[in-house]
Structure 1
């Protein structure tokens, strides 16, 4: 009997379809046992990979870790296990840059099992009195002012991690430019975020998207959120539920890409079995079937475009497809995650008005250049 151990992050969007897959997959592979454990959302996005890779065969992780994974060859590349036709299928079935986000140094280190980006959300029963869904920053501020006159609020997840994600969405980052985010772009983005934050629920500073959405469905005081990573689960639930929409920016471009990949630890003793199971989980057939039914948010474009999938989720996928298809893929070089962690509290401080944009911009661009130099040095040594 072969036993595979996997590590998910602790939300039904991730573990729901993984747990649901074990019995049907074992029915096809009776000599296989599968066990999934869970870790926190923070550990998923910012925790260390090393200990997990020692203990598990399969790991669901955040794509910016790809730089570290590739440089240390911490996971098994999928390329030798896929035909050219299968590679083309995944490339064509990618939601936005999801497939590309798990590639580095000419190899594919993971498969896109889940796709997400920053989108807008709202309580349809509350928004109806204010008109249509905002499509510009001016619309958002107008809605926020009218909502405040009624004692209601906008919402904006502003814990440091999400504050940094907001800056990446609105700051026009240039991965290979002289400046990662110019002072003019930083000033514009931080000004917009301060405008929104001033009209947002006082709890926003302690919210990530999940806390924000939990508040929205449990209370009647947050009408609309312009930017936060989407969660299909809040669209699928019974009333009160949320509806989702494209972000209120020109052409919906720039919404930060999120989602999750599934990779196989280089230390696994069951390489082929783990690869085969990952391919099953990411197949278009499972992604638009059992994966969605169990609360998952698939990485497959076919699932996002499926009429049945959208009918069962109040058009979550169709309503946000424009945003994710034009979403922004953040850098994935080794060291970017360290840069992100260091920058996040400084961005939150700038949005709160405690740090000047000039101070933030100077530090951010200097630290980003250092992260690139460190990555180049690491590559030259290797």
Structure 2
């Protein structure tokens, strides 16, 4: 009888897993929506599935409810150490909490910049001259210059009205946190015991409010998948400065493939971004056998990450895979052009209560955008909302 697994319903989420499982009829992979992946109660999912593809902010809730199996109970320490050393950025560490490893980093992603290079090439030369000249990308019209800083993004938004924000679901808050990470790259929120200073969040809210006011209405309700798909078929969005990268939308098979680049920085330097991607976890109901252990280790191997996974619509987490020339050639340099952002990406808070905060904080931001709430008021409201997820006061970062 096959193990039961749950992932999300996009080819990046299920393509490689189903293809790999089909080789041995080992795992029956089911899917749920991106919204389910982002917000569904982890305890309920783990009560019904043996293997769960999840995001690192769910760890606090999962640990509090004892619904995941620590991976040191399943794998040898040397195997975990090898996977840790081979994983890009903080992808492996993001699933390490309370001294134990809770998931294997199957897939790596972070918020990056998505660009319609053909449309950016058409921006009038007067404005294009203001953009940084160090980041060319190719378009049908020749090389174009991609914004590198938030000031450059702001200028492009003001001159075209075609710079979109990802604001649906939890992504309003995630976009805000990426802006805040660019403003203060030293802030470490991963343990959930700290929040950004009011000055940082107020500055981030000011920029978010300004860009949201000009973001095309056609994409305001779309999740990252819908937003990226829209950009490949419509001409009303030139650029989205922060959206979770999906290599699938860089495919040359699309009529208008997207180019992906590093997220903006507050000033020339470190791009600000909030880590996403997925980990594969084992629920407490599952008693892994040798075949399942070997299958999961095979998924994490460099050969599989570099060969099998990209060829089946997946997005690897192996650092060598991200640098591989053939993998990049198949994706218009998606990996090479966003590696710096992924390597620097910040880990979200992971305490029990964060997922609800992420949803409520995003709703608060959308309401504030619609109502014209000031950046300072939004910053105060978010700080209070974050404090409400704890039973005791915390110290700001």
What is the TM-score when the length of structure 2 is the normalising length? 0.86
**2:227 matched residue in structure 1:** 212
The number of equivalent residue pairs is 365
**1:41 matched residue in structure 2:** 34
**1:103 matched residue in structure 2:** 96
**2:196 matched residue in structure 1:** 181
Task: Check conservation: 1:164, 1:348, Cα contact below 8 A.
Answer: no
**2:156 matched residue in structure 1:** 143
**2:170 matched residue in structure 1:** 161
Q: Distance in 1 between matches of 2:103 and 2:6?
A: 14
Task: Check conservation: 1:182, 1:361, Cα contact below 8 A.
Answer: no
Shift of 1:283: 1.9
Task: Check conservation: 1:216, 1:222, Cα contact below 8 A.
Answer: yes
**1:51 matched residue in structure 2:** 44
Query: Cα gap change, 1:142/1:169 in structure 2, threshold over 3 Å: closer, same or farther?
Result: same
Shift of 1:203: 1.9
Query: Cα gap change, 1:193/1:231 in structure 2, threshold over 3 Å: closer, same or farther?
Result: same
Q: How does 1:302-381 map to 2 (within 5 A)?
A: 302-373=320-391
**2:258 matched residue in structure 1:** 242
- How far does the alpha carbon of each residue in 1:189-243 deviate from its partner, in whole angstroms, 9 at most, with x for none? 1111122223321123212211111111111221111111111000024231000
What is the TM-score when the length of structure 1 is the normalising length? 0.89
Q: Distance in 2 between matches of 1:334 and 1:45?
A: 14
Q: Does 1:3 align with 2:18?
A: no
List runs of 5+ in structure 1 lacking aligned partners: 27-31, 377-382
> Structure 1 runs of 4+ off > 6 angstroms?
176-179
Counterpart among 76, 85, 102 of residue 83 in structure 1: 76
**Range that drifts further, 249-258 or 101-110:** 249-258
Q: How does 1:283-298 map to 2 (within 5 A)?
A: 283-298=301-316
Query: Cα gap change, 1:177/1:145 in structure 2, threshold over 3 Å: closer, same or farther?
Result: same
Q: Distance in 1 between matches of 2:281 and 2:290?
A: 12
Shift of 1:272: 4.5
**1:29 matched residue in structure 2:** none
Shift of 1:363: 2.8
List runs of 5+ in structure 2 lacking aligned partners: 124-143, 182-186
Q: More helix by proportion, 1 or 2?
A: 1
Task: Check conservation: 1:245, 1:319, Cα contact below 8 A.
Answer: yes
